[in-house]
Amino acid sequence: MTAATADRQDRGDHLLVTLRNPGRRNAVAPGMYAEIQAALIEAAAANRLGAVVLTGADGYFCAGGDLNTLAERAAMSRQDRRARIEELHATIRAIRACPRPVIAAVEGGAAGAGLSIALACDLLVAANDASFSAAYVRVGLVPDGGLTASLARAVPAAFAARMCLTGEPVAAPTLAAMGVVTDLVPPGSAALRAAELAARLAEGPLDSQATIKHLLAEARAQDFDPQLDAEAEAMADALAGAEAAEGLSARRDRRLPAFRRHDITVLTREQRRR
Domains of the chain, residue spans: 5-202, 206-258
- CA angle in degrees (0–180, nearest 5) for 198-201-202: 85
Say which CATH class 5-202 falls into.
alpha beta
Q: Is this model's pTM higher than 0.85 or not?
A: yes
Please, are residues 62 and 124 in contact by the beta-carbon 8 Å criterion? no
Domain 206-258 in CATH 3.40.50.620: no
Comparing 5-202 with 206-258, is the CATH topology the same? no
- pLDDT at 263 exceeding the cut of 50: no
What do you get for the CA distance between the two ends of the chain, in Å? 25
pLDDT at 201 > cutoff 80:
yes
Beta bridge partners of 16: 9, 53
C-alpha torsion angle, residues 146, 149, 152, 154 (rounded to 10): -70
pLDDT at 2 over 70: no
Q: Which residues have CB under 8 Å from 140's CB, separation 6+? A: none
Q: CA 191 to CA 105: how far, in whole Å?
A: 5
Q: Say yes or no to pLDDT of 265 above 70.
A: no
Asked if residue 39 has pLDDT above 70, the reply is: yes
pLDDT, residue 131, reads 98
Give the bridge partners for 18, in sequence order: 7, 55
- Mean pLDDT for the chain? 92
